[in-house]
Every structure is written in structure tokens, then in C-alpha cells.
A and B are shown apart, each in its own frame.
Chain A
Amino acid sequence: MSRTGRLAITAVLFAAAVGLVVFTAMAFLRSSPSTVDFTVGHEPGTPVDMTLQTVGTIGFGIHPTWVSYLTRDPDGQWVHTTLWDLPAHTKVNVTLYQYDTGSPLRNQQLGQIIGTTGGTAAYNGTSESVINSNDGNGVAHTFSIPTLGVSVPLLGISSSAKNPCGAAPCTTNYDHNVITFSFVTPGPGQYPWQCFVPCGLGYLYGNGGPMSTVGYMGGFLEVVA
């Protein structure tokens, strides 16, 4: 083969390799969890029911030891995602099954329930406006939408619970708390939400890993008209 031919083949192979690297990098950067769409079939003026769970260890995927939220889609299936489409100006009734242990909050200010309907949340049926994280089992996580001024501390289960859930999705056969509250979506837009308890085990200040990865302890509300 001539020198020109060898050079051409080398150039083509090099270009293909570069293209593959770029494609892989872009695919990785653009990858994201699936979105649960609560707008499909939604009747205007009626509330949306959203069911979530928080688990201490997700138990599957590339980070099985990470703490995580899960979302139940309208078909009743648990989905490992924190991305939701919600209708605008609509009341969202949240039912949250909390399976993780708790501890005192780094900042007890997060113990105050804000931004929910009535400024309260129900914990296993009891309405509260403040959770003292220094008492009892403490707080495991929070459900917070900073730009909407919504924040709800999620009571932890006992660290000596006899039947803790080790892998998601967890069923109500395991030790858990049920937290219910409502909030109203604003106009269309994208709103970040997250847990404010630094629960990233083993990461600096507890805020790396699952706390810094969409799909685990934070995500986005895509509010649509």
C-alpha cells in the first residue's frame, strides 16, 4: 500500500476514534433518569397525587449503596427518578414512605415545615408544624423546593429498627414512617428540589455522591401549563 493510502487509513481510524470518544462523552453527559409525567390525563382543577419513598440504600444500579428517592408512576410502578412533570397551579398531594434512619439536623432551621398547605405535614397521621430533630429518631431527609419555599423534614425510623429495608423499592412490610403534605405548583418553569440533610455517606460534609447526583437526592419539577 502506498504511503498516501496508509496515511488516509490512519487519518480515518483516528477520526473514528475521536468521534467515538466524543459520542460516548456526550451520551454520558446527556444521560439522565427518566421523567414521571403527572400531567397525562390530568383534569384541570383536580389535585395530583404523588407517592414517593426514601431508602437508605437503593440496592441496585451502579451505586447500590447510595441513599435515594423513588417515585411511583401513575401506573403504580416504582421508578428510580427524581424528575417529574407536573401541571401548573395545581395542588399536589404528596405521600412519602420514609424507610431510612435519622439523626439530628445540622441546621435545625430545617425542622420547620414551610410552604405546605396549612404550613403542616402529617407524620403517621399526626399533624406537625415543627420537628425537633434532637428528639426521638431525628430527621432522615428533607423534601425541599427552595424556590417555592417548600420544605418538609422527614422523620427517621429508629436506628434499632427490627425490620429495616435494605434495597428499594421497599414495601410497607418494612419499618417506615408515612409523611403526607400538600403544596401548590406555581406557573410553568423548572424548579430544582432536593434533600437538605447531608446524607451522602462517605463524602465530604455528606454532600457528595447521591446528594450531588440527579436521580438520587435531588431533581427537578418541570411545571407545565
Chain B
Amino acid sequence: MSPTPAPNSPQGSGTRHFRRLIPIWLVLSAVCDIVYFFVLGPHVPPGAMTSSASSQQSDFNVLFLTALPVIMAVWVYMGYAIYTWRGSRPGATDPEGGVAARGHLGIQVGWIVSTTVIVLAMFVFGFVELAVPAGAGGGEGPNPLWTPTSKGVLPVQVIGQQWEFTYRYPTFGGFETRDLVLPVDTTIAFHVTSLDVIHDFWAYQLGVKADANPSEDNVAFTTTRQLGAFTVRCDELCGLWHGAMYNFGKVLSKSQFLVWAQSTERTNAANTKNLPAFSYTYVPDANGADGGYYPDSVDPYSNVETYGATTPAK
């Protein structure tokens, strides 16, 4: 019985296998990409509620559409190899190495070059996508490099504290509420800060995520595009009740938002006058801690504005 020709031997030319493999790979990749793009793509989180969410969805789709042919190449080759060179095929001999086990310079170079190009392209794409759409919904710190071009930006301050988020609307008298309500088709500037430890403001469906650091104004932009409800969670472990630090927000029509904002401004007026003047950052105030310990670097009674009483507790 003659031995089975090795894949790259003259008897079993690799070219013949590639002629089979490449069409299979091309067809499967095309089918998978098309199915993914039209069936799964529109439903990929975080959705399309805002510009940043929509951008993130597109980014995920681009990454997956790029990765699918690579995955298909690996799987198709693996499946082909398992079937074609299986040990149980008629006339198969025990593997002995030799020609079949040697590397193929062309395939190796091709694989390294193609995957390098893909990874580098993804790196550039990801980097650009983080920057170009006004920071992609991420916190950019107090001096954002990438800012929106639209006019009429609505500032909303997000104040993290153990263990809830509250929201101040400086353009509506500076009222503060536990309800995050936004108008549709409007660019929002979230000014995220904290009164105690580090929290993380993660408005999932809005595609906005920014750390809430004490004494820092972390700015994140997005533009609302769809009506609906969204979830806000703290995404930085901040103590026992971290898991309970979530609430729900709404994107309303502009007219509905205006009604809500003006109504809340009136309803909260009695308490708003007790709040400190609006500021982008606040120094955590010892008052209210009932003796709570503060790090040495924090002077709760400094002249910097505090969020709470401006005088020490008696």
C-alpha cells in the first residue's frame, strides 16, 4: 500500500487544498457578515439612543464584521484539516512528521502580515472613534479635547455620593433631583463629580460612562436621538450598597422636558435655596458625617465651596 501524499508534497499539492479552502472561506465569511450586519447588528448594545451609543454600536459592528472572516478562516481550515487529513481515512498512515509537519513560509508570512494589518487598522480605527465623536461618551476630564460642534448644549451635573446619584440643572435655577430627565435631539454635557469616594456614572443605553471623582469635573458629551428610558448604574465598587446605586432616566420630547424642568424647578425651589451655589466641583464637607474620618489632604472647612453647610457643625 502506498503512503498518503503529504499536503505539500508533489502528490498532494497545497495549491489543490487552497483552491478548495478559499472559496469555502469566502462564501462562509460573506454569509456570516451579511447575516450579522442585517440581523444582529442593529440590536447590538448599547443601541442607538444617543450619538455616542450609536457610534459605539457601529464600532462593535465594524470590529465583529472584521473579526468574522478571521474566525471563519480558522474554523474552515480546522474543519477541513480534521476531515481531509483525519487518521481514519482510507490509507492513512501514522503521522511521522517530515514534509507535512514543516512550516510554510508563505502561509506564515501571509498570516502574520494580514493579522498585523488588521490589528493595526483596528487600533487606528478605535483610537479615532474614541476621539472624533466628541469623546465617544467617555469622561474627558475637566478640559475636554474633543467637544461637540452643536449649539445649545444642555449642562447636567451628575453628583455621585454613597450610594446614589443626584443631578443638578444649572440652567434651570440649579435645582437638584434624583431624576435624570433629558430632552431628545439635544447635546448634553454631563459634568460628573463626587462628594465622597470614586464612583462611576454609567448611563448604559446612552453610551455614556465617566468616573465621578471628588473635587473633579469630569465632562462627557452625548446627543440624544431617541425617546425612551435608560438605566444609570455606578460602575465603580464604592461600598456595601454599591449594588443598589442605580436609577432610571428618561429622554423626553423637548416640550415635555421643558414642562418637567420648569415644574421641578418650582417644586424644588424651597430646597434649592438651601443648596450651595452651583459649582462644577465641591469639596466634601465633614458636616453630616457625624465625626466621619477625612483624609489629611482634605480640609472640609477650607474656603473652597463645600457641598452642604459652609460652617463647621456645632
Contact = CB atoms under 8 A, between A and B. Distances in A.
A and B associate: yes
Interface of A: 67, 101, 103-109, 111-112, 114, 129-130, 132-134, 138-139, 146-147, 149, 151, 159, 192, 194, 196-208, 211-213, 218
9 smallest beta-carbon distances between A and B, as pairs:
A206-B292, A104-B309, A206-B289, A212-B240, A106-B288, A103-B313, A104-B287, A112-B271, A192-B244
B176 A134 contact: no
29 contacts: A101-B290, A103-B288, A103-B313, A106-B284, A107-B159, A107-B195, A107-B307, A108-B271, A108-B274, A108-B275, A109-B177, A109-B178, A132-B274, A133-B309, A138-B288, A146-B164, A146-B178, A146-B247, A149-B178, A194-B241, A196-B161, A197-B290, A198-B196, A199-B289, A205-B289, A205-B293, A205-B294, A207-B239, A211-B162
Contact of B288 (A105, A194, A204, A218): A105
Contacts, number: 138
Interface of B: 159, 161-164, 166, 176-178, 195-197, 239-241, 244, 247, 268, 270-271, 274-276, 284-285, 287-294, 307-309, 313-314
A130 B293 contact: no
Contacts of B196: 106, 198, 205, 207
Contacts of A200: 292
Contact of A198 (B275, B289, B313): B289
B308 A205 contact: no
A109 B166 CA distance: 8
Contacts of A104: 285, 287-288, 308-309, 313
Contact of A130 (B177, B274, B289): B274
Given A106-B196, A146-B164, 13 more contacts: A105-B309, A106-B307, A108-B308, A112-B271, A138-B313, A192-B244, A194-B163, A194-B244, A198-B162, A199-B290, A203-B292, A205-B196, A218-B241
Given A130-B274, A159-B314, A112 B284 contact: no
Nearest to A115: B178
A206 B284 contact: no
B293 A103 contact: no
Most buried by B among A107, A196, A213: A107
Given A103-B287, A207-B162, A134 B271 contact: no
Contacts of A149: 178
Nearest to B270: A130
A13 B37 CA distance: 61
A181 B307 CA distance: 27
Contact of A204 (B247, B293, B314): B293
A201 B292 contact: yes
Nearest to A56: B290
Nearest to B245: A146
A45 B285 CA distance: 44
A201 B291 CA distance: 5
Contact of B270 (A129, A192, A198): A129
Given A109-B166, A109-B176, A133-B309, A206 B291 contact: yes
A196 B196 CA distance: 12
Most chain A beta carbons < 10 A, residue from B239, B268, B274: B274
Nearest to B300: A106
A36 B1 CA distance: 84
